Amino acid sequence: MLIIGIAMLAGGVAYFENSFDSAHSTNFTENKATALYASNNITVKSGYIVMIENPVSNSGLVNYSSLASVKNASALKSAEQPVTDSSSTLQLYIDLKPGTYKYVYFNGTSKAPEYGYITGSQFNIIEGMVAGGVIIGLIGFIVMIYGAIKKQKPKNPYAADDPYNIDNIKI
């Protein structure tokens, strides 16, 4: 069970990476006048989850129709979509309205962020595999510990009641 749980967890992570890799990019175009870097168009349909790997400061996801108003960092803050969930290496945008978006940031960086999306159904599969893998792995770990504790110790071959003990053979 422990191995099955680890395999499910690893499969969920691999499926996530493959799903993201099929719809991601690191291409940005620079507007020299404003020092704004803009991604290619990100076309969002209902249920899509947009992900940004390695986000940079002064950045955000902007609706394409609002892009013209983004001339500086303060204008970006008012035009950007709110981040649903984030960590130091990943930003998630969930429940966006269908439309075209661009991920934008100011001032160049040595490593451009990666942007892309997965569908809600792909996310549900990933979530199920990871959660199931963790649960099955924990159950397997608990069963393994329980089995080690409850394991019967081998009988002492020299026990007094052992019929094969030479001292117990009656002639």
Q: Residue 114's closest CA among 21, 8, 48?
A: 21
Q: How many CA atoms lie less than 13 Å away from 112 in the CB half-sphere? A: 17
- The per-residue pLDDT for 62 is 92
Alpha carbons within 13 angstroms on the beta-carbon side of residue 36 total 22
160 pLDDT higher than 80: no
Q: How many C-beta atoms lie closer than 10 Å to residue 111's C-beta? A: 8
**How confident is the model over 80-91, as pLDDT tens digits?**
888 888 888 888
Q: List the domain boundaries for the chain.
A: 2-123
pLDDT at 61 over 60: yes
pLDDT at 169: 64
Q: Residue 170 has what pLDDT?
A: 66
